[in-house]
């Protein structure tokens, strides 16, 4: 059976852990040449090593995607490692910094917009010259190569979620970016879609009581969800459980694969029926 991503250069942000890691491993199994982008060097290197041990091809690109210079670094890493074609971009990196709106600081608000909206915008813009030029040459040669951009959103961006005005707003705006780019780049055979996840079992949705935090701009941001809320969410899901990172990755692969070559400008809800 033909591999779905054979020799396709795939950029995945936030690929050191969780959904991004699962997607990187799955894409590599399907023949993709994966750029593993993550904030932390250790997890990035581990994913690359795992892919290579399994016979795949991958390279790490470590850094903060909210840095205005990082998008160029990511694209250059892909070009240097795998050549001039950029075929799939998965804008997955992110985190939450919750608070009710009347207590939310400007810093909390801006942080979510930076990572969930501005960073994907910059990455797409940095890739634009290479995607557009390749598409024009293929069109002149009478060839059609379909490329994919998959922006990872959340049902919070579609339905809202109390305590997440910043996150919900950024994820909603990402849907607007998706739909606009689908119209702009459709003539270039670029399919642009959003995958909006519900409750997926990752460190961002683990029990908040564990006290795990990530460092952002010199501050520790506690991540996770109170255990009582985790149980409530599960009860609201018809399948009565959280999704796994591997199940989430399957949905991303679907949109990256030839199976979705005529799907663009859409939002795929992956929620277990919630």
The residues that are catalytic are 167
User: Which tokens hold the place of 175?
Assistant: 């849907």
d(Cα 170, Cα 181) in Å, to the nearest integer? 16
Beta strands in the chain (DSSP E): 9-13, 33-38, 57-62, 88-91, 147-154, 190-197, 213-216, 219-222, 267-270
Tokens 């929620």 -> residue = 271
Residue 99 CB coordination number (10 Å): 16
d(Cα 214, Cα 212) in Å, to the nearest integer? 7
Rounded to a whole number of angstroms, the distance between the first and last alpha carbons of the chain is 34
Residues facing 152 on adjacent strands: 195
d(Cα 176, Cα 55) in Å, to the nearest integer? 38
d(Cα 66, Cα 72) in Å, to the nearest integer? 12
Burial label for 161, CB within 10 Å (0-12, 13-18, 19+), is middle
Residues facing 134 on adjacent strands: none
């Amino acid at each position: 059976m033909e591999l779905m991503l054979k020799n396709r250069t795939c950029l995945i942000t936030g690929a050191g852990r969780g959904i991004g890691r699962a997607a990187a491993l799955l894409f590599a199994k399907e023949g993709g040449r994966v750029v593993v982008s993550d904030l932390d060097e250790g997890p990035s290197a581990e994913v690359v090593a795992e892919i290579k041990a399994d016979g795949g091809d991958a390279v790490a690109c470590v850094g903060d995607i909210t840095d205005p210079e990082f998008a160029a670094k990511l694209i250059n890493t892909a070009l240097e490692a795998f050549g001039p074609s950029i075929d799939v971009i998965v804008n997955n990196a992110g985190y939450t910094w919750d608070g009710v709106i009347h207590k939310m600081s400007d810093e909390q608000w801006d942080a979510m917009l930076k990572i969930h909206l501005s960073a994907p915008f910059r990455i797409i813009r940095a890739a634009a010259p290479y995607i557009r030029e390749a598409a024009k040459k293929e069109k002149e040669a009478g060839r059609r190569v379909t490329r994919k951009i998959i922006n990872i959103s959340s049902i919070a961006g579609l339905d809202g979620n109390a305590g997440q005005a910043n996150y919900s707003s950024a994820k909603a705006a990402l849907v607007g970016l998706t739909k606009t780019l689908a119209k702009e780049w459709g003539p270039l055979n670029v399919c642009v879609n959003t995958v909006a996840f519900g409750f997926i079992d990752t460190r961002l949705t683990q029990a908040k009581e564990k006290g795990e935090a990530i460092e952002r701009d010199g501050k520790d941001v506690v991540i996770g969800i109170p255990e009582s809320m985790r149980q409530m969410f599960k009860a609201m899901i018809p399948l009565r459980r959280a999704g796994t990172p591997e199940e989430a990755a399957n949905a991303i692969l679907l949109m990256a694969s030839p199976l979705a070559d005529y799907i663009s400008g859409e939002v795929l809800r992956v929620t277990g029926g919630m």
